[in-house]
Structure 1
Amino acid sequence: MKIFECPECSSPVYFENMRCSCASELFYNPETAGFSSQGIACANRELLSCNWAARPGEALCDSCVMTKVHPEPDVVQNLALWARTEASKRWVLANLKQLGWFAAADTGPRPSFELLSETTSTGADSPVMGHLAGKIIINVAEADPATLVDRREKMQEPFRTMVGHFRHEISHFLFSRLSGSHPFLTRFRSLFGDETADYGDALQRYYETGAGEGWSDTHISEYASAHPHEDWAETAAHVLHLLDLRDSANAVGMTLPGTRFGAHDTRTALNEGLDLGVALNHMNRSMGLDDAYPFVIAPIVRDKLEFCAEQLNQKNRTGKLQPG
């Protein structure tokens, strides 16, 4: 994510800012990827700290309008969890718009979101995150930092985050849009396998027996080994992680020896993101923290990452990636 500029005083402002230090109100426009000091606020500005401008002639912004079901805000903690969840969604959607997805020029369908809570007025619930026919379900419970850490440890998923959940589930939706192309499916199957294999049976086997030995030679994560659909979603989500990491480093002027972040071919762009991951791991270890990007990328996995990157970049499907 880039660092923005206040339209009134030119001071640096960040993606989450509602106002500048000069007291100017800020309204983010996802089409121009910039802030304005004049605009019609999203109806959720005060309720959820949504700093996006409303869609022309509508009450909600491009992000909030996609949420079709949300937690009961008057139930304890639900409002705070909903707000944090929407903040993660806005971040991910802004990244995707810069790649051409869901922007005004994209005439394809959009996903809808059901943001569900485990705490309801009628008692406890257990919503399961997932994607089906364009509907994405997110459990807002993991917007609570303590809950997220607890589940990350129990499920042995070192990279479990709310941003990660959105990138994974939206990647399932993007697959459904891309898979209408025969060339896409031909190349996909050569790398990921047959996506028509029974999904339910595959998941049952995975949960009963695990990933098996050698999974890291061919998959980005253990869960990716469960089924080609999950392999795609996990790998595509990592592409979005790495591109955002690279662009965020570029925004703050971070460099590595021999590296100039900018518009490069797919292989170079991914290498830059991966090199940054290694550098951040080294920095985190100096502070006694866990690795920021705890993954080792095998050659087959790198091929999958490159394929996903080419397909996800709707603005330039020639193999080039544009900086954010």
Structure 2
Amino acid sequence: MRLLALCGLALIVWGVGRLASQWGATRGSAPGGAEAGALWAAVLNPLALVHLVGGAHNEALMIGLMLAGLVAFRRGHWVLGTVVLVAAALVKVPAAVALLCAGAWSVGGLPDRRAAWLRAAGITLAGGAALVLGVAVCGQGWGWLSTLRGPAQVYTVLSPSTDVGRIVGLLSEGLGLGTAAGAIAAARSVGLVLGVCLVGFCAWRAPRTGPEYASGMALMGLVVTAPVVQPWYVLWGMVPLAAVAWRLLEGTPARLAMLVLLFMVLPSGTSASWPYAVAAVTGASAAMASLVAWGPPGLGAVPRLRLQERAWVRAAARTRR
């Protein structure tokens, strides 16, 4: 499983680099600046390295295939993109959100209504054929559909809808108005409805925002409203967003959030304890001290990337004038 996770990570590196390069080229970013920022936000952040590789989660392969499908859509190969995104959804269902957003972007960019309807029908047929073929090749049948409700049996503190349901349930039980299970189920249902509405809104906006941004925001909204949330679920939307909005992810609030999520659940699936936290902080401090004392001379040149990018943009603006 870890080998598949590494293959997925390689796909993420390739996909996010291609998407960021195309996005940065249309907005006057310095050569290489968009790719460098996107790669840090998508791959080199500790949440991705520790959980995608260390935890060997199938999210790595799902996200890698998802980015490859978005690259195919960006290059005009919508049939190939549909097939790849269906493959990503067969790894893990949330990738279907990216197919919806990419399809909406592809259809919305066509000049006339007839061509749009034909494109939508083509994407639907290609997606359906790829789904049936993929299930047939796997040889497991359609029984996996019944397992989609399995994660909902787990309670996690990161799910806002579940937390609200548990609080309301405790109050209702104390007042004799109902059971906690009923309150949790109702709160989760409301959360799922909100999540579906957010996905629909992002897909509707995809022709104007682009498939990467739409997919990232839709998946982030789905995670926030989901009945079960694990720390690495944040990567569903964070990695596509890294291709077009890496500056938002490199700020201090985003970095602190990633560190908190990193230590909430360890790659082994157990919760972090004080010995783990002390060992992690001690090891990180020792590593940073050794880099400062004996690191390579060029290490300090990395933070100057943004200054070089700004200088390049100013020079390009003066040239246009």
Short-chain TM bin: under 0.3
Point out the structure with max Rg over C-alpha. 2
TM (normalized to structure 2)? 0.28
TM (normalized to structure 1)? 0.28
Q: Which has the higher strand share?
A: 1
Q: Which has the higher helix share?
A: 2
